[in-house]
Structure 1
Amino acid sequence: MKTTLIKAGFIAALFLANFTNAQEFPIDNLNPRDQRGVNAFENPKDSISTFDGLKVRLGGAFALQFQGLQHENNATPAVNSATGVNANQLYTIGNNFNLATANMDIDVALYDGVNLHLRTFLSSRHHPESYVKGGYLQINKLDFIKKDFLKDVMKYTTIKFGHDEINYGDAHFRRSDNAYAINNPFVGNLLMDAYATLVFGEVYYRRDGFIGMVGVTNGKLNQTATSKTSPGVYAKIGYDKQLNTDLRVRLTGSVYNTARSQRLDFYDGDRAGSRYYFVMENTAATSSANFKSGQVVPDFKNKTTSLMINPFVKYQGLEFFGTFESASGRNFTETERRSWTQFAGELIYRFGNTENFYIGGRYNQVNGEMATGEDIKVDRFNLGGGWFMTKNILVKAEYVNQKYDGYKPTNILHEGKFNGYVLEAVIAF
């Protein structure tokens, strides 16, 4: 308890000491983390520099939900004769608040064209204690080698490396990252969530709307030199252009491949946890084992190859964001790959003087073969809206309906479904 209080006091002191820095303090080529960051994807790339010495910006995010969900299944009872516990018995859930979540962000202007970002989860569903989510170093100039070194190349090039989420697809830019949920127009993330914090290196080339990126990683969430691995490679190509004052068009395609890993967390790496607490979970599960409620994990632990295509169109206040994903892979006990597909489409209408209100819907479907041989399909429909009370404060509400098909009668998800509403308040700065 004493250690916890000391840590909490230290964090509070840091926020108080740097609060003025967290308001409007800009650091070149990093996306803002308030309403201005909505529909932002990769960090911007420009040649304008405001660097006049090392500066630190402290920011954060907080999120709280009120959940009103109900669930049901039709699974065969699986009673443990020793304990009497039915492993296919669903939790009894009701209307109540979820655990509040919090992030702390540190951004540093280290040198002209060189930035650092670090994110810490102060509290999350899976870990109520604080831990580092990840971070990276971003280089837009090489002046630390020599003034104007490779200036013509670096005008269009960005180098980025660290231990953080990799830039596969565009869906990860619109997902809730623990408490940082201001970019997500809904409460939940996609069913099959291609997200993991990995050691990586990325090189970008951007010019006249064209986007090209290549990256490399070892595909592992937890790093150790005691196990072998093979490099994972990934790439993105696309086009993003504001064609006129009313119309913006973006289209990207991404590919990711890991030939071998001792523990591949690519679709199983969200340590913060799902927004739909305890849905479709059995009463025997511990809190550390049920944090992926409502997600679909294809169980690719050894190999995977994934392709994602994302169109984005915004005309005035109306926007569409789509996802098509095809993935194949296997775990350690399998000799043949299994295939999965995911479709998602979001239609959002933003209105108000500063587009501070929005309404919209999302449909998401996943089809695939489980390692247990089940050919499953999961559908989710979201309908919701939100209000930016200020650029830093967002309140949103959604209705969610999710159904499971293809699971065996012995699986707790057999003929499963959940539906209801979730309210969420988000602060980000």
Structure 2
Amino acid sequence: MKTQLKITVLLLSLSVFFTSFGQSKRDLDNYRQPDQRGINVFEAPKDSISTFDGINVRIGGQSTLQFQALDHENSGAVALKEIGYNFNLATANLDLDVALAKGVRMHLRTYLSSRHHPEPYVKGGYIQIDNLDFVSEGFMSGFMKYATLKVGHMENNYGDAHFRRSDNAQALYNPFVGNLIMDAFTTEVGAELYYRRNGFIGMVGFTNGKLNQAVSNPDTGGASFLAKLGYDKQLNDDLRFRLTGSLYNTGAVQTSYLYSADRAGSRYYLVLENEDANPTNQFRSGRYNPNLRNKITAVMINPFVKYRGLEFFGTFENATGRANNELEDRTATQLAGELIYRFGQNEKFYVGTRYNKVDSEEANGDDIEITRFNLSAGWFLTKNILAKFEYVSQKHDGYNANSIFNDGKFDGIMLETVISF
């Protein structure tokens, strides 16, 4: 913990240093803005003209706070934690983005405060290469005009839903308070190669399949393969269309964290948790992990359509796999649809709804169904400040009589404020 605090003090000192010496250039090349301009941006844009004129360090971050007013209940077979209405833990991120050379950028995110960890810790980072002039001027320029390479211990690009989810304190891109029930998100060491041309998107990637890095137990390692293929085009001034299909596959790893890697935790604190639960240990309340721990093949398809202020984002996901002690594969399927209407000057207001459903075969034989309904409204006070209101209702069916989720449900309202810069 002392080491983490020293790192945090160092990063904050760097922030003061660069601010004091007039590092005021906030817009970087090939970069997704952390404010309202980053809404509905997926992969970082590919810029054709470089503005690099020397190393530039951009200090940014986010701070987020929720007020929770949720009630929960189940069949009574397992007693639930008593919860009331109050504020959740305020969460915070610190971002360092550094332009290192023409078309070369580094990103590092540190969680300063999160639901799971009481101390600051690094989420991950990567180096992004959009130009190879550092090798020699004009090297592979024809290919790099359309290509991007990312390398690091980073958030892996499986599906499009992770571009809209809340990442600890970075909740400005998410029109709702919570993420999906089956929240696909992981950080693994690897590389991703992108090729984008005339609206078409292609990506292939490989990782070592590990969330927690270690050289011990070398025989229990593995690898994961990622791929994405899609099309994203602004067809005219009013209409944008995007459709992608993604694959995440690992044949044998010690532990797969695809649906449990988010150490920052969920937004719905202590819902459907037992009497001994606390926010730090039971930090995934309201989510579902199919526990395909050692073998998994997951496919996600995401359509996105925006016509003027009206937008639709959809998710179809199918995950198949098993744990080492299982003889047969199991399958979990997720459907989600979001309908958002943005209005006002610069679309500073929005209202939206989302329906999310998961059907899954449990290892104990239960065929379970989880459904969630959300209503949301938001107001961008400035491009860096967002206030949200959300109503959420979630129900669990198909669990056996001894499960805490038997006839489980929760509902109520959430208020959230986000500052991102």
TM-score of the aligned structures, taking structure 1 as reference length: 0.94
Distance 2:359 2:85 in 1: 31
Q: How much identity, in percent, do the aligned residues show?
A: 60
Deviates more, 1:414-423 or 1:278-287: 278-287
Q: Which amino acid counterpart does residue 284 of structure 1 have in structure 2? A: D
Match 1:196 to one of 186, 205, 214: 186
Shift of 1:263: 1.1
The answer (yes or no) to whether the contact 2:334–2:359 under 8 Å persists in 1 is yes
Structure 2 residue aligned with 1:150:
140
Distance 1:340 1:417 in 2: 20
Distance 2:329 2:238 in 1: 45
Distance 2:6 2:215 in 1: 33
Distance 1:138 1:11 in 2: 21
Match 1:219 to one of 209, 212, 218: 209
**1:262-316 deviation line (CA, Å, top 9, x unaligned):** 0110111000000000000111234432100000000011000011000000000
Distance 2:191 2:82 in 1: 45
Shift of 1:116: 0.3
Structure 1 pair 147–4 and aligned structure 2 pair: CA distance change class (3 A): closer
Structure 2 residue aligned with 1:82:
none
The answer (yes or no) to whether the contact 1:105–1:119 under 8 Å persists in 2 is yes
**Structure 1 residue matching 2:400: 3-state secondary structure:** coil
**Structure 1 residue matching 2:345: 3-state secondary structure:** coil
Structure 2 residue aligned with 1:141:
131
Shift of 1:10: 4.9
Distance 1:344 1:285 in 2: 29
**1:77-118 deviation line (CA, Å, top 9, x unaligned):** xxxxxxxxxxx2111111100000000000011111111000
Q: Which runs of structure 1 show a deviation greater than 6 angstroms over 4 or more consecutive aligned residues?
A: 1-8, 20-23
Match 1:399 to one of 386, 391, 394: 391
Shift of 1:331: 1.0
Structure 1 pair 24–280 and aligned structure 2 pair: CA distance change class (3 A): farther
**Structure 1 residue matching 2:256: 3-state secondary structure:** coil
Shift of 1:225: 1.6
Q: Which runs of 5+ in 2 are unaligned?
A: none
Structure 2 residue aligned with 1:282:
274
Match 1:410 to one of 402, 413, 421: 402
The answer (yes or no) to whether the contact 2:25–2:58 under 8 Å persists in 1 is no
Distance 2:306 2:331 in 1: 32
Report the number of matched residues: 418
Q: Which runs of 5+ in 1 are unaligned?
A: 77-87
The answer (yes or no) to whether the contact 1:75–1:410 under 8 Å persists in 2 is no
Structure 1 pair 22–133 and aligned structure 2 pair: CA distance change class (3 A): farther
Q: Does 1:312 align with 2:304?
A: yes
Structure 1 pair 183–2 and aligned structure 2 pair: CA distance change class (3 A): closer
The answer (yes or no) to whether the contact 1:75–1:411 under 8 Å persists in 2 is no
Distance 1:387 1:194 in 2: 27
Match 2:292 to one of 291, 295, 300: 300
Match 1:273 to one of 253, 265, 274: 265
Q: Does 1:351 align with 2:307?
A: no
Structure 1 pair 4–322 and aligned structure 2 pair: CA distance change class (3 A): closer
Q: Does 1:94 align with 2:84?
A: yes
Structure 1 pair 390–260 and aligned structure 2 pair: CA distance change class (3 A): same
The answer (yes or no) to whether the contact 2:5–2:119 under 8 Å persists in 1 is no
Q: Which amino acid counterpart does residue 83 of structure 2 have in structure 1? A: I
The answer (yes or no) to whether the contact 2:369–2:396 under 8 Å persists in 1 is yes
Structure 1 segment 52-67 matched on structure 2, within 5 A: 52-67=53-68
Shift of 1:325: 0.4
Structure 1 segment 116-131 matched on structure 2, within 5 A: 116-131=106-121
Distance 2:6 2:224 in 1: 41
Shift of 1:232: 1.1
**Structure 2 residue matching 1:354: 3-state secondary structure:** helix
Distance 1:356 1:3 in 2: 41
Distance 2:391 2:241 in 1: 29
The answer (yes or no) to whether the contact 1:75–1:413 under 8 Å persists in 2 is no
The answer (yes or no) to whether the contact 2:158–2:228 under 8 Å persists in 1 is yes
The answer (yes or no) to whether the contact 2:270–2:278 under 8 Å persists in 1 is no
Structure 1 pair 3–140 and aligned structure 2 pair: CA distance change class (3 A): closer
Distance 2:274 2:374 in 1: 24
Structure 2 residue aligned with 1:31:
32
The answer (yes or no) to whether the contact 2:28–2:99 under 8 Å persists in 1 is yes
Q: Which amino acid counterpart does residue 62 of structure 1 have in structure 2? A: S
Structure 2 residue aligned with 1:84:
none
Structure 1 residue aligned with 2:322:
330
Structure 1 pair 4–159 and aligned structure 2 pair: CA distance change class (3 A): closer
Quote the RMSD (CA, aligned, Å).
Answer: 1.7
The answer (yes or no) to whether the contact 2:209–2:256 under 8 Å persists in 1 is yes
Structure 1 residue aligned with 2:168:
178
Structure 1 pair 156–10 and aligned structure 2 pair: CA distance change class (3 A): closer
Structure 1 pair 225–3 and aligned structure 2 pair: CA distance change class (3 A): closer
Distance 2:6 2:148 in 1: 39
Q: Does 1:105 align with 2:106?
A: no
Distance 1:37 1:290 in 2: 31
Shift of 1:5: 7.9
The answer (yes or no) to whether the contact 1:238–1:250 under 8 Å persists in 2 is yes
Distance 2:221 2:12 in 1: 40
Structure 1 residue aligned with 2:44:
43
